[in-house]
Amino acid sequence: MAKKRKLNNFKFNVKNTFFISLIVIGFALLILNMALEAIYFKLIGFLLAYLGGLFYFLFNEKGNYKKSWRFLKESKNYVLFTVVLFLGFMIIGFLYQPNSLIEAIKSIIQELLEKTKDLNFLEMLWFIFNNNASVSFFSIILGFFFSIFPAVSIAFNGYVIGFILERSVLADGLGVLWKLAPHGIFELPAIFISIALGIKFGTFIFSKSPDKTFKFYLKNSMRIFVFVVVPLLIIAAVIETGLIFLVE
């Protein structure tokens, strides 16, 4: 019996070491990509890191979707706060646009247009997904620092979207809102969830057992990122890319 338990523990450790190795190698390639700017390093790095996380949960946990949904229900107040913060800054962006911010936002938009103007379908798909997945992931992880990054991120994005909506309505009328709506059906829920989890993550320090709460929040947030956020962002990227090329 003892030998069997040891063998099972050995198999468990070997599997987890392999999964964690995939994650580490994936992140190493992502970091290397920052220096070399090689798209394949980033793509392979993300796939390895994602598969490592996916297999870790599949082989070590049961009922991952149920656990994800339960943690989301427990985090509903953070999700609501995130949506309200986003809508608030979107309204501000729609109504209030000082010249200094207008020029800064125009510069950001112009830079994005330059980066994407010659991309084919698959390259555009990866560009959109990669941007959204990066924002989602770092919003969760960097929420560790008192929730500052995710809160600032959603406020900034809300303001920029409000700015774009105002310019679009001025140019094409209110009807343009219906054309823009499909872009956010899957993307916005994924972003809202990630931001909410990041904000919640930053509150672990105020709990009675910070170390246990830290592990619990991080594990469940990563589970939701793997099983909920990434699939939503893949669907969103396919829809958005399709709409972009359909319009062209």
Three-state DSSP class for residue 120:
coil
CB atoms < 10 A from the CB of 132, how many?
A: 23
DSSP codes joined into one string, 22-83: HHHHHHHHHHHHHHH--HHHHHHHHHHHHHHHHHHHHHH-S-HHHHHHHHHHHTHHHHHHHH
Distances (CA, A) of 203 to 103, 124, 146, 199, 218: 35, 36, 7, 7, 12
pTM of this prediction?
0.88
Query: Over its length of 248 residues, how does the chain's per-residue pLDDT go in tens digits?
Result: 544 454 444 444 777 888 888 888 887 877 776 666 666 777 888 888 999 999 999 999 999 999 999 999 999 999 999 999 999 999 999 998 888 777 888 888 888 888 888 888 888 999 899 999 999 999 999 999 989 999 999 999 999 999 888 887 776 666 556 666 776 889 999 999 999 999 999 999 999 999 999 999 999 999 999 999 999 999 999 998 988 887 65
**Residue 208, Cα to own-chain centre: how many angstroms?**
29
Token representation of residue 63: 């009922």
**Radius of gyration over alpha carbons of the chain, in Å?**
20
Domains of the chain, by residue range, sit at 1-60, 65-247
Task: Report helix, strand or coil for 195.
Answer: helix
Tokens coding 191: 């972003």
Place of tokens 């290397």: 32
Burial 165-202 (b: 16+ CB within 10 A, else e): bbbbeeeeeeeeeeeeeebeebbbbbbbbbbbbbbbbb
Burial class (CB in 10 A: 0-12, 13-18, 19+), 56: buried
